[in-house]
Amino acid sequence: MNKKLVAALSGGSVLVMALSGCSSSSGGGGGDKGPDPKLVAWAKSVCDAVPAQDAKIKAANASIAAIATNSNLPPKSAQKTYSQAFQDMSDGYKALADALNGAGAPPGVGDGAKRQQDAAKNLAGLSASYAALKKKVDGLDTKDQGKFAKGLKDVAATQTREVGKQSESGTEALKRLEQGDVKKAMAEQASCKKAASSASAAPSSSAG
């Protein structure tokens, strides 16, 4: 019944993959001397935040996928699962935004500060969108299965469009941030490699 909801929300996983700096899976840093050590340290501070939040966001996606097609689930149980999942996603993206804000501008990168701020702002926006989703779901009528199902459908139609837009602009902002040496520095990090390999191993259900 709520496949649309699942498809829209799974876009977030793509965004985490983009944050890993390995989104187009570059095969290492050519024959040059590699990125500036300061930039590598910056990349480490960002990348080290990724695996834990990636796991949290994936688990939230999985819990939604597990109940989305179960129309026999009591509304109260469904509400609780959706609410917790949206809270976890909101927390996950906020933590990633905080990691980028805490790292500051990537050293030695032209307009790096703007690119870093744009990416952090987009992640914070996605966090706010999931918080809004949680609020909407928390407000649904669980006394009546039909009303709850209709309410959930409305939430899926309106809020997930917003989440989808935020995901797309977030992915674009991260790609802009991760050009050139920033990408190389992030691709060197074990934590980013781990997140990227787990993202590419996951079955992709990306909706266009």
94: Cβ–Cβ under 8 A, 6 or more apart, which residues?
123, 124, 127
Reported as half-sphere exposure (CB side, CA atoms, 13 A), residue 100 has a value of 29
| Whole-structure pTM value | 0.82
Report CA Rg, the chain: 18
Classified by CATH at the fold level, domain 3-17+38-199 comes out as Four Helix Bundle (Hemerythrin (Met), subunit A) (1.20.120)
- Domain extents in the chain: 3-17+38-199
Token pair of 191 as six digits: 């934590």
Q: What is the pLDDT along the chain (208 residues), one digit of tens a residue?
A: 466 666 655 555 556 666 665 544 444 444 456 778 899 899 888 888 888 888 898 899 888 888 877 778 899 999 999 999 999 999 999 999 999 999 999 998 888 999 999 999 989 998 998 899 899 999 999 999 889 888 988 888 777 778 888 888 888 888 888 888 888 888 788 777 766 666 555 444 433 3
- The C-alpha atoms of residue 120 and residue 122 are separated, in whole angstroms, by 5
